[in-house]
Amino acid sequence: MSKPDLSSSSSEPVLSMAVTAEPATAVTRRPAYRRRDVLGRIAALSALPVVAGSATVAGGLTGCQRQSAASAASLPIADAKGHLLWQNWSGLNHGYPAQRIAADSPQALAARLASAPVPIRVLGASHSFNAQCVTEGTALSIDGWSGIRAVDTTALTATVKAGTRLMQLGEELARAGQEMWSLPDINKQTLAGAISTGTHGAGLHIPAMHGRVHSFELVTPTGQVLNCSPETNAELFHSALVGLGSFGIVTEYTLLNWPLARTRRETQVVPLKQMLGEWENLRQQHRNAEFYYLPFTDLAVRILHDTTTDAPIPRPADQDMDGLMDLKKLRDWASWSTPLRKRIAQALGNKHSPEVAVDEAWKLLSSERTIRFNEMEYHLPLEHQLPALEEIIHLIETQFPEVFFPVECRVVAADEQAWLSPFYQRATGSIAVHSYYREDHTAVFGAIEKIFRRYGGRPHWGKLHSLKAAELKELYPRWQQVAAVRQQVDPQNRMLNAYLRALWGA
């Protein structure tokens, strides 16, 4: 049987916990709050000749047609023992878990862990790009642990079950008069999956999601149920907060939130040179600031969010993904001539005026990502962000004409409470590079990773990178302490698959 086609518009993981782990509490599917047009600014490129698949015309480069081995492979839907296929969102990683468990009460779960086949991996929404969720042992779904359990309107806290999807959380928090100021690009992740990998949004004065965690409850691999906070089981709290599912299973978090407020978002295509020149001011002045460099266009898309009392302005239809495919089309059609590629893009991209939306932040900060890709993101000391980006632009535009995905640049506040936070004790400038899931990312990601490493970057825990324990311990001052805590709570390494053993050096 051939592998399911991932190019459909679904953004759910293919066959992820479909069979035995139906959510006990159904997740409300919201109509998509579509973010307008980050990339659709150059949607007029649709006027270019249609190109079938990734075939090129007019002498386009062979690199455009490279396919990733994993996405080109044909995977059976079940293995010889009848175990069903699991794949991550991008389709790069897969496995056939021998057992699938849907989470029940923390105490019942603790009892089941003792006899579960190893490795035991907790699955959130399977949106991580690397192999941390892969298992041939036990796949544990936490979809059933969903929703807000308690709210404190004075302290502005909410206790939220770990499997709650971010899209559902935004809506439920709004009903309680609260919000998270920062959200990632998409809102399909589970709260636990997002926090466990250091998921972040954009904002120099706003920490990543784990920076607003007050406490959490953890079921350890040896069956203990523990409350963890800076006051109780403090070492475990600081170690397991960004813990890659390696310390046990988090059942719920208490989050520190902000009062619900209206947000104004402004999106504009600007010349790249202007964007780089104004970035240091913009990132200081705005609540959330980010930009995308559009390869081979000399253009950037600038996105700013600020709190406002302005009247609501509806969010326009999202054309991001149309714009993305238009960039691909431009690549397929004109990668043989960089000047031509740039002239066409600029002629169309420069015509657009700024676009504004006003609404609650949870409806504006995240978007739909219906086109699959693989991604590497590194978190750099803030002052190195622009120098590193300039090197990456040079590298891409001299050596990798096949690149068409925008490169995303964000800023994140320093935090201290997660010892494996990529933002630990340093304000950060992040750079993320993407590759269409049907194309081979290894050469371009490998070349860019060398630049990230030279600038002291720390990899995003949920994305692609090549670092192992030896390199990671140089990047994290508390690495040894965290590794020792992990060894204590999971002495038999029952939570670790091959990828995590290499990462932890276990």
Chain contacts with ligand FAD (rule: CB under 6 A)? 89, 121-128, 132-133, 142, 162, 184-186, 189-190, 192-194, 196-197, 199-200, 244-245, 249-250, 369, 460, 462
**Strand 148-152 relative to strand 157-161: parallel, antiparallel, unpaired?**
antiparallel
CB 339 → ligand FAD: shortest distance, Å? Answer: 32
The encoded tokens of residue 67 equal 């396919």
Judged by CB, which is closer to ligand FAD: 21, or 123? 123
> How near is the Cβ of 80 to ligand FAD at its closest, in Å?
26
Nearest to 188, CA basis, from 501, 480, 462? 462
* Least Cβ distance, residue 475 to ligand FAD (angstroms): 17
Q: How far is CA 243 from CA 20, 84, 138, 439, 504, in A?
A: 26, 27, 18, 30, 11
Of the pair 190, 428, the CB lying nearest ligand FAD is at 190
Helix axes 385-399, 272-285, angle to 10 degrees: 150
Q: Which is nearer to ligand FAD, 89 or 279 (CB)?
A: 89
Burial code (b: 16+ CB inside 10 Å, e: under 16) for 158-186 equals bbbbbbbbbbbbbbbbeebebbbbbbbbb
- By C-beta, is 60 or 248 nearer to ligand FAD? 248
- Structural contact between residues 45 and 327, judged by C-beta atoms closer than 8 angstroms: yes
Q: Determine the residue with CB nearest ligand FAD.
A: 193
**Which residue has 């276990």 as its token pair?**
506
Nearer to ligand FAD, 56 or 267 (CB): 267
Measured CA to CA, the distance from residue 407 to residue 423 in angstroms comes to 20
- Of 131 and 348, which has the nearer Cβ to ligand FAD? 131
Q: Which is nearer to ligand FAD, 42 or 167 (CB)?
A: 167
CB of 145 to ligand FAD, least distance (A): 7
The nearer residue to ligand FAD, 186 or 327, going by C-beta atoms, is 186
Min CB(147)–ligand FAD separation in Å = 14
DSSP conformation letters of 222-278: TS-EEEESSSSSHHHHHHHTT-TT-S-EEEEEEEE-EE--EEEEEEEEEEHHHHHHH
Q: Distance between CA 289 and CA 303 in Å, rounded?
A: 6
Short-list 57, 66, 65, 64, CA closest to 401: 64
Residue 171 Cβ, how far from ligand FAD at the closest point, in Å?
Answer: 17
Query: Which residue's CB is nearer to ligand FAD, number 185 or number 320?
Result: 185
- Comparing CB distances to ligand FAD, the nearer of 60 and 243 is 243
At closest approach, how far in Å is the CB of 351 from ligand FAD? Answer: 28
CA-based end-to-end distance of the chain: 36
Give the DSSP letter string of 45-78: GGGSPP--TT---TT--GGGG---HHHHS---SB
Q: Is 252 left (phi over 0), alpha (psi -120 to 50) or beta?
A: beta
Smallest separation, CB 401 to ligand FAD (Å): 25
Q: Which residue's CB is nearer to ligand FAD, number 335 or number 366?
A: 366
Nearest approach in angstroms of CB 165 to ligand FAD is 8
The CB-of-78 to ligand FAD minimum distance in angstroms stands at 21
Number of DSSP helices (H) and strands (E) in the chain, helices first: 14, 20
The residue (of 355 and 408) whose beta carbon lies closer to ligand FAD is 408
Query: Whole-angstrom Cα distance, residue 194 to residue 209?
Result: 8
Long-range contacts of 236-239 (CB under 8 A, 24+ apart): 236/485, 236/489, 237/417, 238/417, 238/418, 238/419, 238/478, 238/482, 239/419, 239/420, 239/478, 239/481, 239/482, 239/485, 239/486
Least Å distance between CB 205 and ligand FAD? Answer: 17
Instruction: Give the separation between CA 200 and CA 370, rounded to whole angstroms.
Output: 20
Least distance between ligand FAD and beta carbon 336 (Å): 30
State which amino acid sits at residue 150: A
